[in-house]
Structure 1
Amino acid sequence: MVSNTRLQKIEDRIFEELSTILLMEVSDPRLGDVSITKVRVDRELAFANIYVSSLAGSESADEIIAGLQHASGFLRSELARRMQLRYTPRLRFYWDPSPEHADRIDRLIASLHQEETNLEPEEDEDPLDE
């Protein structure tokens, strides 16, 4: 088992290295616009849960996860080469809907703001005059 500080450092390093590998070394077109959003490693360093999203949206989530699982052996071996850990965790990939939810909330707030500005009375009108 590792300390919380070391675990956080390992998660951060996996995040950085996998992001670089996906950007520079993976040629699978399914993974062209994939972003890693979060990495969580268990205390025994046996598994790394990698959360991803894409500009393509959740419509292509299954295809993206399949592409990542197909490339997981390569990704893990590259991580092992770059990180020099005694044991490199097995990679498990999950779709992260958070960016899509955040975008939806932003759009809702923008539409509410737009409605609010449309409902404001004209400057020369007195709202109390009826």
Structure 2
Amino acid sequence: MGAMASNRFNSASGPSQRQLRVGELIRRTLSDVLMRGDLHDPELSRLSITVGEVRCSPDLKVATAFIMPLGGHGVDEALSGLRRHRKELRHLVSREMTLKYAPELRFEIDQTFDQMDETRRLFSDETVRRDIAAPEDDSPENEAPGDRD
């Protein structure tokens, strides 16, 4: 009863603990593999690629890695390089992990980096800075002691 019951409840509320755990493990392993330069690809080894997140399918057969090259430069090169070496990366990652099946690796650009840049741009925007810095005029602390009669 254990596994079935927990799956039934997890299906509607996003990824299961196991999906999250395996995804994080793949993320770290893939990051290590890319950092060490285990792939012999000069184009890829020039790029410092961040693996922001890895999402696994419910059956753990497919893992999608969301990546971004350092500074956001060479996005297309990074994607095509990683996709070209998909099978080799799958082998390198599975060799370091104790999963029954090595998941198929897919690669997408991590859009959250764009959102972070957009947020920084907004914060540096003059009017937004003024709004954030503006003192709260209507807060009770600013009242003089004799004002409340």
How many angstroms does 1:105 deviate by? 1.9
Identity of aligned residues (%): 27
Give the counterpart of 1:12 among 24, 47, 53: 24
Two-structure CA RMSD over aligned residues (Å): 2.6
Measure the CA separation in 1 of the matches of 2:109 and 2:22: 21
Matched, 1:22 2:34: yes
Three-state SS of the structure 1 residue aligned to 2:59 is coil
Matched, 1:104 2:121: no
Letter of the 2:29 counterpart? E
Letter of the 1:72 counterpart? R
> Which structure has the greater CA radius of gyration?
2
Letter of the 2:48 counterpart? D
1:13-92 to structure 2, matched below 5 A, reads 13-24=25-36, 25-31=38-44, 32-57=47-72, 60-92=74-106
How many angstroms does 1:113 deviate by? 6.1
Structure 2 contact 64–106 (Cα < 8 Å) conserved:
yes
Higher relative contact order (CA 8 A, sep 6+): 1
Give the counterpart of 2:107 among 86, 93, 101: 93
How many angstroms does 1:6 deviate by? 1.8
Structure 2 contact 67–110 (Cα < 8 Å) conserved:
yes
Structure 2 contact 122–128 (Cα < 8 Å) conserved:
no
Letter of the 1:26 counterpart? L
Letter of the 1:74 counterpart? E
Structure 2 contact 123–129 (Cα < 8 Å) conserved:
no
